[in-house]
Amino acid sequence: MNKKILALLISLALLGSSCSEFLSVNEVNPNSASKVPAKLLLPATLNNVANTMNNPRSFEFVYLWHGLWSISSGYSQPSGLVQYRLLNSSYEGAFNISYVVGQNLTEIEKGTTDPKDAGYKAIAMIMKAYIMHNLVDLWGNVPYSEAFKTEEGILKPKYDDQKAIYEDLILKLDAAIKLIQGLPADATEIPASADIVFGGNMAKWARFANTVKLRMLVHQSGMAGRDAYIKTAIATTASVGYLGAGESALSNPGYLNSAGKMNPFYATFYKADGSSQSDGITYYNAGKAAVTFMTDNADPRLGKFFNPYSGNNFAGNTLGITEPAPLTAANTSKLGYVSGSKGYMIGTFDKSAPLLTDFESLFVQAEAAERGYITGSGKTLYNSALTQSCIYMGLTSADGTAFASSEKTNVNYDLAPNKINLILMQKWVSLNGIAPVEIWTDYRRSGIPNFLVFTQDPNKANATPPVRLLYPQREISVNNDNVVAVGTISAFTSKIFWQNR
Amino acid sequence: MKKIALLLAFFAIGLQVLLAQTKEISGKVTSADDGGSIPGVSVSVKGTTLGAITDMDGIFKLKVPQDAKTLVFSFVGMATQEIAIGSQTVINVKLSSELISVDEVVVTAFGIKRKPKEMGVATAKVDNQELTTAGVSNVMNGLSGKVSGLQINTINNGIKPDTKITLRGNRHFLASNQALVVLDGVPVSATYLNSINPNDIDNVNVLKGASAAALYGNDASNGVLIISTKKGDKGKLTIKVSNITTFEQVSYLPNLQKRFGSGSSETTSNSDPNYTMWIGPDRNTDPYTSYENQNFGPEYNGQMVILGGKLVDGSYQMVPYTGMDNKRDFFEIGVSMQNDISISGADEKSNFYLSAQDVRTTGTILDDTNSRSSVRMAAGKKYGKFSADYTLSFSQTNTSQSGGDMNQNRPVYWNVLNTPAHVAIRSYKDIVNNPFATVDGYFNAYYPNPYWQIKHSRLNEKRNDILGSVLLAFKPYEWLEISNRSGVTFNTINNHNHKDEAIYNSYSHSDPWSQGHMGVTAPYAGNSSDQMSQSFILTNDLLAAFDKSFGDISLKGILGTSLYSRQDEAIFDAASALVIPGLYNVSNRVGEPGVAQGTAERNSLGVFADATIGYKNYAYLHFSGRNDWDSRLTKENRSFFYPAVDASVILSDMFPGLISNPVLSFLKVRGGWSQTGQIALDNWYGTLPSYPAAGGFPYGGNAGFALSTTLSNPLLKPEQTVEVEAGFEMSFMKNRIHLEANAYKSNTMDQTIPATISAATGYFSALINAGELENKGIEVDLKITPILSVGGFNWNGGINYAYMTSKVLSIMEGLDEIPIERSSYIVVGEQFPAIKVTDVKRDPDGHIIVDKNSGLPSTEPALQHVGHGNPNHILGVNTDFNYKGLRLSVLAEYRGGNVINNRVGNALDFTGISEHSALNGRQSFIIPGSVIETSPGVYTPNTTALVREASRQFWVNSSYHTTDRGLVTSAAFWKLREVALTYDVPVKAIFGGDVIKNAQVGLVGRNLLMLRPKANVWTDPEFNASGTTTNAVGYTTEDQTPPTRTFGFSVKLTF
Output the average pLDDT for chain B: 87
Residues of A in contact with B755 (CB under 8 A): 478
Beta strands in B811-872 (DSSP E): 817-821, 824-827, 834-840, 859-868
B514 chain-A contacts, CB cut-off 8 A: none
pLDDT per position as a tens digit, B93-113: 888 765 443 346 777 777 777
Q: What is the pLDDT of residues B500-526, one digit of tens each?
A: 999 888 888 877 776 678 887 777 889
Give the pLDDT confidence of A156-185 residue by residue, as tens digits. Answer: 999 999 999 999 999 999 999 999 999 999
Helix (H, G, I), strand (E, B) or coil at B746: strand
Distance separating alpha carbons of residues B178 and B188, to the nearest angstrom = 12
* Total residue length of chain B: 1055
Q: Which of A51, A143, A193 sits opposite B701 (nearest CB)?
A: A193
Query: Are B628 and B606 in contact, with CB atoms under 8 Å apart?
Result: yes
B1036: three-class secondary structure by DSSP: strand
Task: Compute CA A398 distance to the chain's CA centroid, rounded to the nearest angstrom.
Answer: 29
Closest-CA distance, B400 to chain A, in angstroms, reads 28
Task: Determine the pLDDT at residue A10.
Answer: 53
Q: What is the mean pLDDT of residues A250-266?
A: 94
Identify the residue with better confidence: B263 or A73.
Answer: B263
Which residue of B561, B563, B706 is in closest CB contact with A41? Answer: B706
Q: Which helix H or strand E contains B45, and what residues bound it? A: strand B42-45
**How far apart are the C-alpha atoms of B1018 and A290, rounded to whole Å?**
51
Judge whether B265 is closer than 8 Å to chain A, CB to CB: no
Q: Which residues of A touch B709 (CB under 8 A)?
A: 100
* Chain-centroid distance, C-alpha A289: 23
Quote the pLDDT of residue B508.
84
**Mapped to the 3 state alphabet, what secondary structure does A188-241 carry?**
CCCCCCCCCCCCCCHHHHHHHHHHHHHHHHHHHHHCCCCHHHHHHHHHHCHHHC
Nearest Cα residue in chain A from B591: A258
Q: Strands, DSSP E only, in B213-288?
A: 224-229, 235-250
Percent of chain B scoring above 70 in pLDDT: 94
pTM exceeds 0.95: no
DSSP code string of B146-173: SSTTEEEEE---SSS--EEEEESS---S
Suggest the residue from B761, B765, B836, B854 to mutate for an interface test with chain A (most A CBs closer than 10 A): B761
* Higher pLDDT pick, B694 / B10: B694
Contacts of B758 in chain A (CB under 8 A): 143, 155-157, 474-475, 478-479, 482
Would you call B278 helix, strand, or coil by DSSP? coil
CA B935: distance to chain centroid?
53
Is residue B15 over pLDDT 70? no
- The pLDDT-based confidence of B990 (bands split at 50, 70, 90) is confident
- The DSSP symbol for A177 reads H
B761, A150: Cβ pair inside 8 Å? Answer: yes
Nearest CB among A44, A106, A276 relative to B694 is that of A44
Q: Which domains does chain A have, with CATH numbers?
A: 3-74+87-221+467-486 (1.25.40.390), 282-331 (no CATH)
Picking from B713, B710, B709, B711, the residue whose alpha carbon sits closest to that of residue B679 is B713
User: Cβ(B459)–Cβ(B158) under 8 Å?
Assistant: no
Per-residue pLDDT tens over the stretch B939-963: 999 999 888 777 777 888 788 888 9
The Cα B287–Cα B307 span in angstroms is 14
Report how far residue B1033's alpha carbon sits from residue B822's, in angstroms, rounded to the nearest whole number.
Answer: 8
B723 contacts B676 by C-beta, under 8 angstroms = yes
CA distance A274 to chain B (A): 10
Smallest Cβ–Cβ distance between A32 and the set B577, B692, B704 belongs to: B692
Do B707 and A107 count as a contact with CB atoms less than 8 A apart?
yes
Mean pLDDT of the region A228-245 = 97
Residue B642, Cβ neighbours under 10 Å: how many?
Answer: 27
Say which amino acid occupies B830: E
CB A392 within 8 A of CB A374: no
The answer to whether residue A135 scores a pLDDT higher than 90 is yes
Q: Which residue has the higher pLDDT, B35 or B721?
A: B721
The predicted pLDDT at position B251 comes to 94
| DSSP character string of B631-656 | TTS-TTT-EEEEEEEEEEEEHHHHSG
List, for residues B229-274, the tens digit of each pLDDT value.
888 877 778 899 999 999 999 999 999 999 999 887 766 554 444 4
Q: B941 — contact with chain A (CB < 8 Å)?
A: no
Are B797 and B737 a contacting pair, CB within 8 Å?
A: no
The answer to whether the Cβ–Cβ distance between B684 and A26 falls below 8 Å is yes
> Is pLDDT at B610 greater than 60 in this prediction?
yes
Q: Mapping DSSP to helix (H, G, I), strand (E, B) and coil, where does residue B99 land?
A: coil
The half-sphere exposure of B102 on its side-chain side, counting CA atoms within 13 A, is 4
With cut-offs at 50, 70 and 90, classify the pLDDT of residue B283.
Answer: low
B72 forms beta bridges with B44, B82
- Interchain CB contact of B699 with A (< 8 Å): yes
Mutate to test the interface with B, among A10, A18, A23 (most CBs of B within 10 A): A23
Tell me if B582 sits within 8 A of B594, measured CB to CB: no
Continuous segment of H or E residues that includes residue A14 = helix A2-17
Looking at beta carbons, which residues of chain B come within 8 Å of A278? 521
Largest CA distance in chain B: 116
Name the strand (E) or helix (H) holding B666: strand B664-678
Among the partner-chain residues A31, A41, A256, the one whose CB lies closest to the CB of B705 is A41
Contact call for A19 and B525, based on CB within 8 A: no
**Nearest-CA neighbor of B196 among B6, B333, B376?**
B376
Q: How far is CA B1000 from CA B243, B470, B991, in A?
A: 11, 34, 14
> Cα-Cα-Cα-Cα dihedral of B439, B442, B445, B448, to 10°?
-60
Degrees, nearest 5: CA angle A235-A236-A238: 55
Interface membership of B630 toward A (CB under 8 Å): yes
Which pLDDT score, from 0 to 100, does residue A411 have? 97
DSSP B628: E
Kindly give, in sequence order, each residue whose CB lies less than 8 Å from that of residue A468, ignoring residues fewer than 6 positions away. A138, A139, A140, A489, A491, A494, A495, A496
For the cut 90, the answer to whether the pLDDT of residue A374 exceeds it is yes
Radius of gyration (C-alpha) of chain B in whole angstroms: 33
C-alpha–C-alpha distance, residues B509 and B499, integer Å: 20
Which range of B64-73, B75-84, B203-212, B921-930 scores highest in mean pLDDT? It is B921-930
Q: Do A43 and B697 touch (CB under 8 A)?
A: yes
In this complex, the residue of B696, B705, B766 whose CB is nearest that of residue A253 is: B696
Query: Order of strands across the sheet with B81-84?
Result: B51-53, B42-45, B70-74, B81-84
Contacts of A349 in chain B (CB under 8 A): none
* H and E: helices and strands count for chain A: 20, 8
List, for residues B301-312, the tens digit of each pLDDT value: 888 888 988 888
Residues of B in contact with A32 (CB under 8 A): 690-693, 705, 708
Chain A residue with CA closest to B696: the answer is: A261
Do the chains contact at B762 and A147, CB–CB below 8 Å? Answer: yes
Q: Is the pLDDT assigned to residue A16 strictly greater than 60?
A: no
CA distance B556 to B548: 6
In order, the DSSP letters of B887-918 are EEEEEEEEEES-EEEETHHHHHHHHT-BGGGG
Residue A38 C-alpha, separation from nearest chain B C-alpha, in angstroms:
10
Rounded to a whole number of angstroms, the distance from the CA of B603 to the nearest CA of chain A is 6
Burial of B884 (0-12, 13-18, 19+ CB in 10 A): middle
CA–CA distance, B850 with B844 (Å, rounded to integer): 14
pLDDT at res. A99: 97
pLDDT at position B445 over 80? yes
Residues 6+ apart with CB under 8 A from B391: B184, B229, B376, B377, B378, B467, B468, B469
Best mutation site among A34, A127, A155 for testing chain B: the one with the most B CBs within 10 Å?
A: A155
pLDDT at residue B110, rounded to an integer: 76
* Residue A442: C-alpha distances to residues A126, A230, A292, A447, B377 (Å): 22, 17, 20, 7, 79
**pLDDT at position B14:** 41
User: Is the per-residue pLDDT at A318 higher than 80?
Assistant: yes
Contact assignment for B766 to A33 by CB distance below 8 Å? no
Measured between beta carbons, which residues in chain A are less than 8 angstroms from residue B710?
Answer: none
Answer yes or no: is pLDDT of B278 > 80.
no
Q: Which of B321-335, B789-803, B830-844 has the lowest mean pLDDT?
A: B789-803
pLDDT at B19: 44
A-proximal residues of B, 118-147, CB under 8 Å: none
> CB of B81 within 8 A of CB of B95?
yes
3-state class of A470 per DSSP?
Answer: coil
What are residue B466's DSSP bridge partners? B394, B490
Nearest-Cα distance to chain A for B928, in Å, is 28
Q: Which stretches of B172-289 are DSSP H helices?
A: 210-213
Taking 60 as the threshold, does the pLDDT of residue B1009 lie above it? yes
Tell me the pLDDT band of B20, cut-offs 50, 70 and 90: very low
SS3 state at B582? coil
Best B484, B542, B702, B836 member to test A by mutation, with max A CBs in 10 Å, is B702
**Using a CB-CB distance cutoff of 8 angstroms, which residues of chain A are in contact with residue B762?**
99-100, 102-103, 106, 147-148, 150
Q: Give B754→chain A minimum CA distance, Å.
A: 13
- Do A193 and B702 count as a contact with CB atoms less than 8 A apart? yes
